[in-house]
Structure 1
Amino acid sequence: MPIAVRVPNALQTATATLFGVVLAAGLVVMAAGCGSSELSFSEDPADYTDEVATLKQRLDEDPSDGKALRNLGRIYMQTGRENQAYDRLKRAYSHLPDDPETLFYLGMASESVGRENAALELFSQYDQVPESSRYRQLMEGRYEWLVRERAQKDIREMMTREADIADQQVSPRILAVLPLNYQGVSEEYEPLGRGLAEMLITDLANVSDLRVVERVRLQAILNELEFGQSEYVNQRSAPRVGRLLGAGRLAGGSYRVTQAEDIRMDMTVVELDSETSPDVPTQTGNLADLFALQKDLVLALIDALDVSLTSQERAAIAPVPTESLDAFLAFSNGLLEEDQGNFEAAVQHYRKATDIDPGFEAASQRAIKAESLSAAGGAPQKALSAAAAPTQAAARLLQQRLGHMGRGYLGINDLMDGDRRTPVEDVGGVPDTELPPPPNPPTRPQPR
């Protein structure tokens, strides 16, 4: 348990002021590390001379000191010595395979030396890391970012071989669902096309006879080709999009919301190896009935694709993610911002959706991913800076100053905010370790 502060009344005001200043400074630096390109650590090796010497001495005494290897690797990463960092962190991993900090920095080092697959494998273990650890969010964000980068890279590589794949057979079981094109007047409803497509993708993923193209890969090709909404699905663009995605079928369409708040949704299916397109009945009704209409639309689409549903699949499709149109609009706005790379703005929209409907699980999950991408996506230095943000260091500094005053200790748990609170073990008031032991991840090969 954290040890309470024992401060005489005469010092309470000074203590409170010191606490506010130091903690606020730490939070500001952390925010700068997560939300901007400014580094929260020095890149000058000279600034780490004493620490490096201490760590090397520890390793001379005990070459299996995993924490010393990890911390040395972290310093090498921060100062641009990637190959040395990778060597030390790989050795640290052999001693600390479950340590989140080691996993994160080894992933960053692997990425920096061109071992992208190894980095993805390491970052993918984020779900094995305790939620209380900041490395969980950073690992998830880096994983999601690399997946997006990989998808973009794959699409670009495929585009260089378009002539070779022009006659390639694609499976009709593979379906790409594109955002619906808005044809209304009010800009308020324009983002609905993203949300409706997301609902369709989620529902169709429950159908075993179909394989739905991942949304990340789909967005990568839309970004690369720079299509306008009207070009998502038409006879000219569909064959090219389908072959680049490996999809034999593309589903898209349009929707219109009238001033009377009626909605009309039209779906189009293009089959690459057929000269005919299946007919999908138009769905019309009041906007208040949007979610029931969307379920009718997905069932009509499945019928048009000539796919039979099992009772279990039909039951899996039936639930609606939310019954609030306002929450769904906020969610759709979040998807739009996320697709444009505006992750912080996306988080705000997703959080608004969950504020309106706390049970909107899809919005909550999206918010977590967008927060992770905001913290760790982009240039590697941004993720490293977020990891090094010294909020905890500021709290420890305050504890040390209180200790020097001879008035006791303020537990670190009391200084960290609730979402970032780190479990510690108090030994005489001094935190002994930063992280609780994580659950054992699945057995994975050691990076080579």
Structure 2
Amino acid sequence: MMTSRSRALAVAVVCALLAACATGGASTGALSPVDLAALEAQRAQQPTNPDLNLRLAKAYHAANRFAAARAALATVLLQQPDNRVARAYLGFTYEGLEQFDSARAVYGELLAARPTSEVSRLLNGRLALLARKELHAAARASLAREVELSRTPPDPNTVAVFPFRYTGQDSSLRPLERGLAALVVSDLSHVRSMRLVERERLQALLDEMRLTASGRVDPTTGARSGHLVGAGQVVQGQFQDLQGGLRLDATMVRASDAQVAATGSGRDQLNLLFDLEKSVVFQLLTKMGVPLTPAESIAISERPTRDLQAFLLYSRGLEAQDRGDFQAASANFRAASQRDPSFQAAAQQAQSSDAAQSAGGTPDNSIASIVGGGVGEGSISSAGGSGQLASVLNNVVPSGASLVDQLPAGDEIAGAQTNSSGGGTVTPPSRPDPVCEVAGCQGPGGNPGLIGTIIIIIRRP
């Protein structure tokens, strides 16, 4: 006769099977509450079992329980430092905790093991997506600290270049807003006395400002955004097509008081766009009183391409990239590179967008499986005994701590014993991740991340 307990278990099994059928049998690592509880109960009996802990880590990651996932992965990596699947999930988990330096260290350490080309492409794509996440997180942090940042004078030698604003009617020219800004950034980067804010960093800030304060902020004013990225000078510009020609105007604005420090303008045929842009850049530098060496002048005068259509395709790629459409970005960058094989910036962006598209379109569990199967020539743990991750984290993470070196010893994790009185359990103390003691390992929800083991044993009456 089936007991109520047996019936409940049977119902849970049937529900799990139906859920698997509904998703085509695909496994993402997510478990039902019943299955997760069962797996946790198994782990309670075998707290150091690496297979159980890895399965739990995958389930915790799928449920966005990143601190719990990291604790389980710590147990796995203590015993299996070369476990590439666990290493991949550790990177994913650090991303979830918004500890981007640590995530980058993990992916870099996997790449250092010289994996297959497929694994390298996916990991490089993951790094590209990670950089995008990091830029947006930094932008949100700057907005949250705006009052504090406004009291700090920005560096007068740091320059931010805004996307140019197209005021004409031909929508096919609008992507040049990004392309011209990228060209100005490239030109000014040759001036040794200037430091340029990365185009992607400024774009992330503009995106966040639109999301968090729509209608309250006008990004084209520049001064406020300059403060937020630490730029003392901001380049703003606009262009329009006039009777087959093009007019280009640019201003250098001081972020400290929003006053115009220099202007540049010109008008020419569209096919002379690069000459026009160079002329405006030299006007700005001259009026700012910035001395140039002959080498700097020559470098600024160089064209990335002489094919206007290739540059327009490149600009479309930047536009697609900024909205996160890496497939369209890759197609445009590749088309630009095909039109002009010497257009190095287009080729580099095509490769980066290809990798980001591959990584972004592949579920985490699939990436981990591919990483696990793409064994490289090098061993992850061959250097220094505890793996290259230790040295990488020493260089990147503020605490200078090594995750693998500082994990609790195996006997410490396994040291949870039932009290002789039978009235509960004695567990080893939960210990903070040494990597996070200084860095403040907080997940997006603000919960502190701890590496430790909690064992709950339910005794049947």
TM-score with structure 1 setting the length = 0.66
Does the 8 Å contact 2:264/2:281 carry over to 1?
no
Provide the rounded CA distance (Å) in 2 between the counterparts of 1:89 and 1:160.
37
| Residue 156 of structure 1: how far off its partner (Å) | 2.0
Percentage of identical aligned residues: 28
User: Superposed, which structure 2 residues align to 1:188-203 within 5 Å?
Assistant: 188-203=172-187
User: Which residue identity is paired with 2:175?
Assistant: P
Provide the rounded CA distance (Å) in 1 between the counterparts of 2:317 and 2:220.
23
Say if 2:142 is the partner of 1:162: no
SS of 1:176 mapped into structure 2: strand
Distance 1:342 1:42, change over 3 A: closer
Does the 8 Å contact 2:89/2:368 carry over to 1?
no
User: What residue number does 2:363 align with?
Assistant: 382
Say if 2:155 is the partner of 1:175: no
Provide the rounded CA distance (Å) in 1 between the counterparts of 2:24 and 2:258.
55
What do residues 289-318 of structure 1 show as CA deviations (whole Å, max 9, x unaligned)?
Answer: 122222222222222332222233233333
SS of 1:118 mapped into structure 2: helix
User: Which residue identity is paired with 2:225?
Assistant: V
Say if 2:66 is the partner of 1:80: no
Provide the rounded CA distance (Å) in 2 between the counterparts of 1:92 and 1:364.
42
Does the 8 Å contact 1:350/1:363 carry over to 2?
yes
What do residues 247-285 of structure 1 show as CA deviations (whole Å, max 9, x unaligned)?
Answer: 11110110112342x111100111123564233231221
Provide the rounded CA distance (Å) in 1 between the counterparts of 2:333 and 2:56.
37
Does the 8 Å contact 1:327/1:356 carry over to 2?
yes
Between 1:168-177 and 1:149-158, the stretch displaced more is 149-158
Say if 2:238 is the partner of 1:254: yes
Distance 1:125 1:175, change over 3 A: farther
SS of 1:179 mapped into structure 2: coil
Does the 8 Å contact 1:41/1:388 carry over to 2?
no
Say if 2:189 is the partner of 1:205: yes
| Residue 326 of structure 1: how far off its partner (Å) | 1.0
Of 306, 310, 313, the residue aligned with 1:330 is 313
SS of 2:60 mapped into structure 1: coil
User: What residue number does 2:417 align with?
Assistant: none
User: Superposed, which structure 2 residues align to 1:283-322 within 5 Å?
Assistant: 283-322=266-305
Of 363, 377, 381, the residue aligned with 1:436 is 377
Provide the rounded CA distance (Å) in 1 between the counterparts of 2:100 and 2:312.
36
Say what the alpha-carbon RMSD is for the aligned residues: 3.8
SS of 1:257 mapped into structure 2: strand
SS of 2:303 mapped into structure 1: coil
Provide the rounded CA distance (Å) in 1 between the counterparts of 2:281 and 2:77.
48
Does the 8 Å contact 1:138/1:383 carry over to 2?
no
Say if 2:23 is the partner of 1:43: no
User: Which residue identity is paired with 2:59?
Assistant: T
| Residue 356 of structure 1: how far off its partner (Å) | 1.4
Provide the rounded CA distance (Å) in 1 between the counterparts of 2:166 and 2:199.
19
Does the 8 Å contact 2:54/2:73 carry over to 1?
no
SS of 2:263 mapped into structure 1: coil
User: Which residue identity is paired with 1:278?
Assistant: A
Provide the rounded CA distance (Å) in 2 between the counterparts of 1:340 and 1:39.
32
Does the 8 Å contact 1:133/1:435 carry over to 2?
no
What is the number of residues matched between the two proteins?
A: 347
Provide the rounded CA distance (Å) in 1 between the counterparts of 2:84 and 2:189.
32
User: Which residue identity is paired with 2:323?
Assistant: Q
TM-score with structure 2 setting the length = 0.64
User: What residue number does 1:214 align with?
Assistant: 198
User: Superposed, which structure 2 residues align to 1:31-430 within 5 Å?
Assistant: 41-43=27-29, 75-80=55-60, 82-83=69-70, 85-88=72-75, 90-91=77-78, 95-96=81-82, 104-112=88-96, 115-124=99-108, 128=112, 130=114, 132-226=116-210, 231-234=218-221, 238-260=222-244, 262-274=245-257, 276-377=259-360, 382-388=363-369
Does the 8 Å contact 2:262/2:288 carry over to 1?
no
| Residue 100 of structure 1: how far off its partner (Å) | 7.1
Does the 8 Å contact 1:104/1:135 carry over to 2?
no
What do residues 139-189 of structure 1 show as CA deviations (whole Å, max 9, x unaligned)?
Answer: 222222232222222222222332333332111111110110001111111
Provide the rounded CA distance (Å) in 2 between the counterparts of 1:383 and 1:177.
35
| Residue 196 of structure 1: how far off its partner (Å) | 0.8
Distance 1:259 1:76, change over 3 A: farther
| Residue 199 of structure 1: how far off its partner (Å) | 1.1
SS of 1:79 mapped into structure 2: helix
Provide the rounded CA distance (Å) in 1 between the counterparts of 2:26 and 2:305.
40
SS of 1:278 mapped into structure 2: strand
Distance 1:202 1:436, change over 3 A: same
Does the 8 Å contact 1:249/1:269 carry over to 2?
yes
Distance 1:277 1:114, change over 3 A: closer
Does the 8 Å contact 1:175/1:247 carry over to 2?
yes
| Residue 231 of structure 1: how far off its partner (Å) | 4.0
Does the 8 Å contact 1:83/1:113 carry over to 2?
no
| Residue 208 of structure 1: how far off its partner (Å) | 1.7
SS of 2:366 mapped into structure 1: helix
User: What residue number does 1:26 align with?
Assistant: none
Q: Which has the higher contact order (CA 8 A, sep 6+)?
A: 1
